[in-house]
Amino acid sequence: MNSRAVAIRLLILLNCGMWCICLPERLLVNMTLVGNASAIGAFCLDGSLPAYHFHRGSGTGARNWLLQFEGGGWCNDLQSCLERAKTRRGSTRYMNKLETFSGILSNNASLNPDFYNWNRVKLRYCDGASFAGDAKFDNGTSVLYFRGQRIWQAIIRDLLPKGLGQARKALLSGCSAGGLSTFLHCDNFAKVLPMNASVKCLSDAGFFLDEKDVTLNHTIRLFYENLVTLQGVEKNLNKNCTSFFNNPKLCIFPQYALRFITTPFFILNSAYDVYQVNHILVPPSADLPGLWKNCKLNTADCSETQIGVLQGFRRDMLVALRIFYKYSNSVGMFINSCFAHCQSESQDTWFAVDSPRIHNKTIAETVGDWYFSRNRSKEIDCPYPCDDTCHNLIPTARDDRRFLSNASDNDLDSCDDCPKGHEEKNSGFIKPMHGTGMALWLLFLFLLV
């Protein structure tokens, strides 16, 4: 090996540091089919049995439980549900039998310090209605089971004798459509556990707004109303909520349901949630000419008007959260300005040396402080693009002023705790590689040289 190659290897090792030495092993957890689910008619869309992945806790966490709803969108008409039934989103027959547990599900104390030794369960999603439907379609040729509510009940029944029934602490969480599930099932979860258990809920990227799209149509409201009707969801929505509103179907939206939830709740969301930007604010039906195509791919390509629309979406989300931010002692939140969707299941965004932060606190630290009542846990980020901890494309420094000029820090009535801006530190388009991704890349170069 020549001196140049030796020098390169030494440089790589110096940059890699402990990441190359301490790469965490992946935790793969087997699937468990709920054998008794058929007794209560709990089936996936195609009639297959529902399933979950369970990694048992230990030590001080042996009687603590974390249940995580899987996400994966919805189907709100027969055609889309028939298609979904032939995929892993509608049948356990097509699902991977091993699931990686990372982020909030990790069993590594250094990567998930508050929940690593808890009993951790991932509930597989195969009903297409956030575990909330209760209906059946049968035309003599095709059969679809809209049985999400029964799947939820069957999994809980299966877990209670495995230790869930003796839980001391419990956290119900979920991502995306699974994050919506936590709003729909939070209070029910608390009711099935011991009276003296500490039970709380967390929604990651599940605060879907009842927002008009850029053509001023209620696209997402119509979508959810069709979903509720097709899958028989209305009877499983919060009863206090449905009796309060003239349109009870609105109670599938978290902004309307949350005020009726009595169990402590944490909201983890991006104020510029990429799913909501692409499907609620600018759905394909609202952008037939494709004027938003480049903007949605790279915010540096957004026009002044489009930037204003994105900042308006953030403002509307903060307005929907305002009452809980200002007056609720049981609600925690981490609302950052990253263009992201689901941040609790990825190690890079949950807890790492370069994870997204607000007031220098990671998501994991903020959630832990809230759950264990260690500290106040209501974090609202400054407007995009001032947060330089995000793992996404950012505009050049020249363009930063353009974004900030369209943003306002008064969206929560100028509350004293709201951030007033961060220093602009990054002048490039792409953030540096993060965490284990950097380690693997450097290790690859090391072996290549």
Q: Do 128 and 43 form a contact (C-beta atoms < 8 A)?
A: no
Q: What's the predicted TM-score (pTM) here? A: 0.84
pLDDT value at 443 more than 50: no
Reply yes or no on whether 185 is catalytic: no
pLDDT value at 17 more than 50: no
Q: What angle do CA 255, 219, 302 make, to 5 degrees?
A: 90
Output the pLDDT for position 391: 76
Structure tokens that stand for 226 in this block: 């069709």
Output the pLDDT for position 402: 35
pLDDT value at 442 more than 50: no
E strand or H helix at 188: helix 177-192
Residue 198's DSSP bridge partners are: 169
Reply yes or no on whether 176 is catalytic: yes
Given the residues 176, 181, 203, 337, the one annotated as active site: 176
Domain-located, residue 200:
yes
Q: Do 181 and 127 form a contact (C-beta atoms < 8 A)?
A: no
Output the pLDDT for position 132: 99
User: In terms of Cα–Cα distance, which of 438, 343, 447, 449 is closest to 22?
Assistant: 438
Least confident of 63-72, 73-82, 110-119, 428-437: 428-437
Question: What is the tally of structural domains in the chain?
Answer: 1
pLDDT value at 141 more than 90: yes
Chain CA centroid to CA 273, Å:
10
As a whole number, mean pLDDT of residues 383-407 equals 56
Domain-located, residue 365:
yes
Can you spell out the DSSP letters for 26-82? PEEEEEEE-GGGGGGT---TTSPPPEEEEE---GGGTTEEEEEE-------SHHHHH
The mean pLDDT value of the chain amounts to 87
Output the pLDDT for position 398: 33
As a whole number, mean pLDDT of residues 112-116 equals 98
Chain CA centroid to CA 119, Å:
20
HSE-CB at 192 with a 13 A cutoff on CA atoms is: 20
Q: Which domain does 254 fall in, by range?
A: 24-404
Q: Do 181 and 131 form a contact (C-beta atoms < 8 A)?
A: yes
Domain-located, residue 2:
no
pLDDT value at 20 more than 80: no
Q: Which amino acid would we find at residue 282? A: V
- Cβ-Cβ contacts under 8 Å for 362 (sequence gap 6 or more): 350, 351, 352, 355, 356
State whether residue 410 is helix, strand or coil.
coil
Domain-located, residue 342:
yes
Report strand pairing: 119-123 vs 169-175.
unpaired
Can you spell out the DSSP letters for 121-182? EEE---SSSTT---EEEE-SS-EEEE-HHHHHHHHHHHHGGGTGGG-SEEEEEEETHHHHHH
Domain-located, residue 74:
yes
Given the residues 53, 341, 391, 434, the one annotated as active site: 341
Q: Do 326 and 412 form a contact (C-beta atoms < 8 A)?
A: yes
Domain-located, residue 356:
yes
* CATH number reported for the structural domain that contains residue 118 in this entry: 3.40.50.1820
Given the residues 134, 273, 387, 411, the one annotated as active site: 273
Domain-located, residue 30:
yes
Reply yes or no on whether 341 is catalytic: yes
Q: Which amino acid would we find at residue 384? A: Y
pLDDT class for 133, splitting at 50, 70, 90? very high
pLDDT class for 219, splitting at 50, 70, 90? very high
Output the pLDDT for position 9: 52
SS3 content of the chain, % helix, strand, coil (to 5): 40, 15, 45
As a whole number, mean pLDDT of residues 277-290 equals 97
* Rounded Cα–Cα distance for residues 149 and 146 (Å): 8
Domain-located, residue 445:
no
Q: How many residues are present in the chain?
A: 449
